[in-house]
Amino acid sequence: MPFGTLDLNDGNKIPAIAYGTGSVMKGKDVTHFCQQAIETGFSHLDTAQAYGTEETLGRAIQESGLPRSDLYITSKYSRPGDIQLAVRGSLSNLKLKYLDLYLIHNPYLVDSETWKQFEKIKDDGLAKSIGVSNFNVEQLQSLVKTARIVPAVNQISLNPYNYAQKKALLEYSAKHGIVTEAYSSLAPITQFPGGPVDVPIAAAAKRLGITPTQVIQLWVKSKGIVIVTTSSSKAHLEEYMAVGDLPPLTDDEIAAIDAAGAKGPPSVMMKLKHGRRPFAVAGIALALMLYLVYMARLMGCYNGGVAL
């Protein structure tokens, strides 16, 4: 495995890259895709109650023929309800006796008893590690304040364009030994092309002779954060796994990406210019225009298409 592991605050270790079965994989039969990921070198496989992929991931695990100890499996409690039933349901779907990591999928699922139930799951050996997902710094602070077992992981959306807003969360997590997992890190390529980070990413890619995707993943890796990624393409998976063998970005390259990301993503019009998701972006633009017209009418400054 080119990627190593990171130490968790409970004495366990977590692989530094994971194959996710959410996003575009939700509700699909992921057997082939997960088998492909395992063949490519992924040992960390990520699912959730809400993804509808636990059963077919379980099939891929069984058909891999690998010892259970060779794989690291994460699932998430995603819907309000009995937590003990939920984790046992996930284990049944996956055909496993334990999870390596079990996460609370969203902070809205947390009440005074939720984390106690998660602590019981760890005590009972149903999950080796427990953690959370999509928690901001205030939510994480509130949980840690009363927790008997500090969360081992917080899985969040993280990319160069929201890194500045997440720094306080990352610093708090590091202080408590909470490992951050990052999903949607390729947003500068998939959602916000043509933005400020394109320039430093392109420069680093040229220096190293690698792809912009690999530069972003090196950037995530430089922060000591676990990469959660996905693709149906074996070539892309090989591209991702190759990052583990690449030399690191320089401090100057990391700083340049941080600084460019702090400027924010490109505007809606810039996204239109670059032709990505044109219908979705046009829909956003139309919705914004209608909202402005509606507000103008409310304020009595718009009449029959003529601004007054």
**What region does 27 belong to: left with phi over 0, alpha with psi -120 to 50, or beta?**
left
- Tell how strand 302-303 and strand 306-307 pair up: antiparallel
> Measured at the alpha carbon of residue 289, what is the angle toward residues 283 and 294, in degrees to the nearest 5?
125
Q: Measuring CA to CA, which residue among 257, 103, 88 is closest to residue 180?
A: 103
Are 281 and 271 within 8 A, CB to CB?
yes
> Is 32 assigned to a binding site?
no
Instruction: Give the other-Cβ count within 10 Å of 38's Cβ.
Output: 20
| Closest to 181 (Cα-Cα) out of 158, 213, 215 | 158
d(CA 99, CA 87): 9
Catalytic residue positions, numbered = 51
Residue 20, by phi and psi: left (phi above 0), alpha (psi -120 to 50) or beta? beta
Annotation: binding site for substrate: 105
Binding positions = 105
